[in-house]
Structure 1
């Protein structure tokens, strides 16, 4: 059933914990039209009018009484009840009960529960350089709530180590018991853990799953480690030293809210919306400072976005993954109170193979120096093995007599990348050149043998050279200097040009990012790609900013987004403000939004006039007004320039302001030029502070 239009009224309350009621005690109601009972029905999410207690205007008892009145009329028992982030419940309803519910006053929205995908692909084996973060400190006292597949307490990334700094002051979360998990398992590092499975269904999880906050899939562990894994953790893969790891905010604390589960068929893995909303409600009640959701799916302002509105009203920094289906969907988390993060790629370690005479081929990799002859894998098939299997360097497919001490040229496909280098090592090969067979990304994995990964065009040229020069020696080495230039990932979901606000807000590195893994996966470390990895990076940055000073959630969002650097070749609908920085921003100018303003704007259908750190003007709109505030400790001059637009004249007034600490100034952006349906013209407003800070505000004109 589609969510029906919401009747918008404002109510109030005090902060209260959501109630989770087991479905086992639910009454059964027969559906005369189908013969089904509520026990066989999927969950339905019901939102009632009025905000949750996080908005500070009502208490939980009042909300529960309102819910009880609706439930009694419908004749249903709730599976979940929400009172903090929003006012509502989830129940198993027959068609007859839904018909009754649809006519009840005070019902704001009805939505069928669905399973949403996680916004990343995790590699079991592929590992790149472990130098994830050079910092040893940052994020102390801040709690990052991670709604995901749980967390692996056994990882050293989450050990209770000395030097974590001050403890959180306002977090009140619990350590929920479960399979192989006791209430004493949480530590000063992992300060809370809860799990929610009623929506997904405990009878639908794979046999290896743990009905607890323990992570089996690995996704939640990787996200948590990138955001706030301990600093200086030694990484070893297959007995090899791979360097040291550290999260973006290594002193931040973590609270795991497991709402994503593994199914017998991995294609069915995912996160029930009802479970996710319950996790958000609990996280808000627990008092997390940052809330991150590395899952995609959903359109418009649905039940989950309303729950995240409650989180924003509680002054929590909310971050969500844009998603990885650029060809099929717009960026997820379209609500302006969520900082939506897309993916950038290209910042990987690079390597090259050089031929006698100076010809070189460059790709991804971090190999040690190698000098040896090369052989095409398809020409080195073991007896009885097809050229195709040998060319893909499948296990046991290579003849050790032909590949020993050589650089083996393997074709991508068929099996995992790391599995290919394992096969080369088992056959006695000295190194590997991995070549793409079609257009696609290259990676800088940590392989069993030194490896360079070439794109399709370079790979074809290299293969032809090797075929023509069978006895020549090649030199393999790592490319010195900075990694490659960032670009927006082709699979990262872009924003809707017809939307009310610009999405995504920014992008961050989302290609082959190293993170910790549960022991159950067979590896302690692995890489993952997608907007999940990018969102994890952004969550750590938010914790760094919060730990440095007393900032509102909206100020943190503004500082992060306006510190981004534009990515060349990408529109604002693909990158938002650009690539997020690698460290906490130092600008003194921010665009603040009062927690109550989010709901007022949503009720008025005028999200475009919110004081967000981006501007999207569509249709006939020619003006936008924003307010900037000096959040620094000294008075400062700030000046602004509009740049980058190609077919419109964009002016800003005033062009400069002097602001004392805490003082604000309004500025107006005016657009003149042609109105061409379907055409995008974008640029940015750049505010320069006299003390060196740069604040970039992206502007998209879809007129």
Structure 2
């Protein structure tokens, strides 16, 4: 082993790793505070941050679950005993905070219904004390999440005269409440009103009705109040309407039945934009748009004063309840949301009595154990369907957001819908060969064309316009054509204005698919209007100018062109599977319209284009409310259906005739899940796949969800509940690492008349599959189980494990349908055969000992085991002070470092097979939060990122890297939260670095027994041994499993000697 400094045993670091139960590739939780420490008293100078604390005592929904089994129905927060139970939980929160020395005002929220816990401003030391308290399940840092239709109803078949849910069946969402957790709402939008103007006969609209006696007598009845009430008060509704700036008393009504806002978590971390309002008022426009898609009433939409078409929500008579938990930071055009605020919003939505939650919010770094994901689980247990946007990080694989990745959340991908869309256009009036319309988007921060009036002038090329324009006189009184890139929009437009331009036309490059976007900047910084064109149109204008032609443009508000949209094409940024958190849970679930959706807008939006009541938006945020609204129609027709039944009906009746963003490649289940929703089929699905609280708890035991203790998991195991994620009773079926026959069970329930269903199986390529039984004869309401079995044909992909393509399983797709005379109940299949299956890690604990690795082969041929290591760590120590800004940034190698960052250099030689860097805080109070960053040489970090990070709120941070590139690595220790006062010594730390290679100098692994050949379906065992290791060390070794040509898999060997 090559050591950069003198070696010594890493005692504290070893202890921390052992306490945490480390596994390769896992960021470790922190070590605990010593028992008996006195509670710290918070001081005004001690840094705090917002933590979400979960307690072990079950929340009210779980506590009431046994009673609900006896008396089925929706959870009732006003039932006998629930209020007292919730009050007791709140009291326990306050007592716990007092016990650690936190003042009463430190608490931001108490959570009681869907989650037992609280959000509070705490010091790092107080958070550390809570982590070891026996009543506490988990302590996590509050995080920020982001916000991720004129022809939609017709495109979805809702208006079909023969089968449409609205036209033929008369469903409109009456009596169903959709909770919108988003950026708020503009209550002035006509589609959210509970009244409409009474029709007045044409005869009574003119002067005759006012000036003649006969007219006055005939028409006097129409002079009374001219508004009629469309909605009766909603029975049983428990929500409330909170007033505030821009949202006066009386803003709610019988349509918009509730509006609340939650800002404590967000404002603990960020400032609000001056245009924000501490009320449910939407300063972003996103929440208003979402609400109108899901449940807005019929409105004649207009843009720029030009009437376009009538828009109607999917469930136009469903009621809307709004929970504003997302806020604009200064100058932002899209809001972000604190998890602590979102979680309280979910809890209030449950208590108020919503039926469906639309959650167009997410993050790409969470999972099913996130606090808001767990709160949505409890919402599902309470009978509420959570519908979430899948995310907009596609088309990259494994890009599904959280909480959409959770199996109890219906995750929605976005695709296009056919029909007419209306584009604002500028007019090219010269030269003759170029005349025509070009679609544009106005800038969000410049004077609008509505305010300036039409602008007409000759076009002049200005290049990138990132500096003062030469020969400024030629721009005077003309329109500047500017290319996107190299500097911000504000600088480009200001340079054009300084040169005398009367308007600016920016054109896009290859970014954003070359389409026009809304340009952002500081409102008021530029005094001339500006628009953006798409790449193709902009390059065409530039070509005419380069050819010496005179180009003339006219920009005017309200100039609209009709475009025919092509449907069933996936939105390029729509997030894709496989599920990054649990490969065995297929995501997304379904697809719905989410491209160029016309919906409501807040006219006085803080940082967007003002003065409009409608806007076009695209994204999975727009797809989710389509599904939420359709689910409201299904709920109206089937009020007894559970959230799982609603999800199942939408999935098993979906269609698959969709294409990827290129418009040519067929979409697969990782693009669209079960497929595009077909509401008219979903109303009568035949069979449904039910899943309830205990099913989800068993899944949680299998993946280690924090709210489930060993006692509960043991009880579920004794009752026969399977823990494997693929065993969860979902309408989709996924199986991983298939070699030998692997069976998965499902349970279906007939929600229609008695029928016989026959299985039709389309196995994935390279997979043999069977179903038992092949037929199900079910009476109405009857359930049955079936088993589907998969095995590999031996053609599994063989790649080196470090090949980027090997990072994801080799999924293949098929389908299983249960067909009767009236129904076809389809489930997508995603099956990944494997060339080899091995344990990811094995452990040992003695100076001399043995261990074994079980192997399952999915190929025919040779087998070889390559041993690397053993290695012990090189150790570094130091101290680092607190970063008052709590923000790490990459600092150049030759630049001076601030005192809150400590840097170590490590040289990784060629031939290194495995690199581990681990950091442990060493101060006795265990109250420091240090973060670890690793910069790779020459951009060699996986995924092309500039640095790898382990930045949790734990005391121990670990970064593991397989086959690291040789060269010099920079290791930065960041003092994210150090409890020393200013001027103190800082936090002590120990850094351990393991480099595992094929020439060990700290001990050697030996093969005691090994398989010689591989055969598909065969099993084998590799036995390993070691001798005479030093005590008190953590040794690392690596076993590479191969076929002589490819390195197929690896197993980490960890030996902690006594």
Equivalent in the alignment of 2:129: 100
Cα distance in 2 for partners of 1:612, 1:348 equals 33
DSSP 3-state at the match of 1:100 = helix
Cα distance in 2 for partners of 1:350, 1:212 equals 33
Judged with a 3 Å threshold, the aligned counterparts in structure 2 of structure 1 residues 54 and 387 are, in CA distance, closer, same or farther, namely same
Deviates more, 1:297-306 or 1:525-534: 297-306
Judged with a 3 Å threshold, the aligned counterparts in structure 2 of structure 1 residues 689 and 36 are, in CA distance, closer, same or farther, namely farther
Shift of 1:612: 1.1
Shift of 1:90: 0.6
The reply to whether residue 213 of structure 1 matches residue 285 of structure 2 is: no
The reply to whether residue 563 of structure 1 matches residue 653 of structure 2 is: yes
Deviations 1:186-205 (A, max 9, x none): 11111011111000117711
Deviations 1:68-96 (A, max 9, x none): 44223222232200101111101111122
Shift of 1:428: 14
Equivalent in the alignment of 1:699: 829
Shift of 1:185: 2.3
Stretches of structure 1 that go unaligned for 5 or more consecutive residues are 6-27, 120-128, 352-363, 390-395, 420-426
Equivalent in the alignment of 1:374: 434
Which residues in structure 2 correspond to 1:624-643 (within 5 Å)? 624-632=744-752, 634-643=753-762
| Mapped contact 1:688–1:694 kept (Cα < 8 A) | yes
| Mapped contact 1:544–1:584 kept (Cα < 8 A) | no
The reply to whether residue 438 of structure 1 matches residue 537 of structure 2 is: no
The reply to whether residue 386 of structure 1 matches residue 462 of structure 2 is: yes
- Match for 2:318 among 247, 252, 270? 252
Judged with a 3 Å threshold, the aligned counterparts in structure 2 of structure 1 residues 346 and 185 are, in CA distance, closer, same or farther, namely closer
DSSP 3-state at the match of 1:176 = coil
Cα distance in 2 for partners of 1:462, 1:685 equals 52
The reply to whether residue 602 of structure 1 matches residue 700 of structure 2 is: yes
DSSP 3-state at the match of 1:147 = strand
In terms of Rg, which structure is larger?
2
Which residues in structure 2 correspond to 1:414-429 (within 5 Å)? none
| Mapped contact 1:349–1:444 kept (Cα < 8 A) | no
- Match for 1:310 among 372, 378, 394? 378
The reply to whether residue 72 of structure 1 matches residue 98 of structure 2 is: yes
Cα distance in 2 for partners of 1:293, 1:479 equals 30
Equivalent in the alignment of 2:259: 193
| Mapped contact 2:301–2:614 kept (Cα < 8 A) | yes
| Mapped contact 2:131–2:138 kept (Cα < 8 A) | no
The reply to whether residue 554 of structure 1 matches residue 626 of structure 2 is: no
Equivalent in the alignment of 2:60: 53
- Match for 2:388 among 320, 333, 339? 320
Backbone CA RMSD of aligned residues: 4.2
- Match for 2:291 among 224, 240, 248? 224
Cα distance in 2 for partners of 1:132, 1:454 equals 25
The reply to whether residue 332 of structure 1 matches residue 396 of structure 2 is: no
Equivalent in the alignment of 1:359: none
| Mapped contact 1:641–1:687 kept (Cα < 8 A) | yes
Which residues in structure 2 correspond to 1:568-583 (within 5 Å)? 568=659, 569-581=666-678
Equivalent in the alignment of 2:328: 262
Equivalent in the alignment of 1:36: 45
- Match for 2:689 among 586, 591, 598? 591
Cα distance in 1 for partners of 2:502, 2:820 equals 60
| Mapped contact 1:140–1:164 kept (Cα < 8 A) | no
Which residues in structure 2 correspond to 1:274-673 (within 5 Å)? 274-297=340-363, 298-300=365-367, 301-326=369-394, 327=396, 329-333=399-403, 334-345=405-416, 347=418, 349=420, 373-374=433-434, 382=458, 386=462, 437-438=509-510, 440-441=512-513, 456=536, 483-496=566-579, 498-521=582-605, 522=610, 523-550=612-639, 551-566=641-656, 567-568=658-659, 569-581=666-678, 585-586=682-683, 587-605=685-703, 606=723, 607-620=725-738, 622-632=742-752, 634-643=753-762, 645-673=764-792
Shift of 1:374: 1.2
Which residues in structure 2 correspond to 1:100-139 (within 5 Å)? 100-119=129-148, 130-134=150-154, 135=159, 138-139=172-173
Cα distance in 2 for partners of 1:585, 1:350 equals 27
Judged with a 3 Å threshold, the aligned counterparts in structure 2 of structure 1 residues 346 and 445 are, in CA distance, closer, same or farther, namely farther
Judged with a 3 Å threshold, the aligned counterparts in structure 2 of structure 1 residues 170 and 596 are, in CA distance, closer, same or farther, namely farther
DSSP 3-state at the match of 2:320 = strand
Cα distance in 2 for partners of 1:507, 1:275 equals 28
Judged with a 3 Å threshold, the aligned counterparts in structure 2 of structure 1 residues 654 and 159 are, in CA distance, closer, same or farther, namely same
Shift of 1:409: 11
**TM-score calculated relative to the size of structure 2:** 0.53
Shift of 1:611: 1.2
Cα distance in 2 for partners of 1:204, 1:679 equals 46
Cα distance in 2 for partners of 1:374, 1:270 equals 43
| Mapped contact 1:157–1:225 kept (Cα < 8 A) | yes
Judged with a 3 Å threshold, the aligned counterparts in structure 2 of structure 1 residues 263 and 454 are, in CA distance, closer, same or farther, namely closer
Shift of 1:615: 1.5
Shift of 1:315: 0.8
DSSP 3-state at the match of 2:372 = helix
Equivalent in the alignment of 2:999: none
| Mapped contact 1:148–1:256 kept (Cα < 8 A) | yes
DSSP 3-state at the match of 1:184 = coil
| Mapped contact 1:31–1:95 kept (Cα < 8 A) | no
Shift of 1:61: 3.3
Shift of 1:638: 2.1
Judged with a 3 Å threshold, the aligned counterparts in structure 2 of structure 1 residues 398 and 561 are, in CA distance, closer, same or farther, namely farther
| Mapped contact 1:46–1:110 kept (Cα < 8 A) | yes
Judged with a 3 Å threshold, the aligned counterparts in structure 2 of structure 1 residues 461 and 330 are, in CA distance, closer, same or farther, namely same
Deviations 1:133-159 (A, max 9, x none): 355651110000011111110011211
Cα distance in 2 for partners of 1:465, 1:208 equals 42
| Mapped contact 1:636–1:658 kept (Cα < 8 A) | yes
Deviates more, 1:489-498 or 1:611-620: 489-498
| Mapped contact 2:571–2:595 kept (Cα < 8 A) | no
Stretches of structure 2 that go unaligned for 5 or more consecutive residues are 1-18, 21-38, 66-81, 160-165, 197-228, 439-455, 466-471, 494-500, 519-530, 551-559, 660-665, 704-722, 798-805, 834-1058
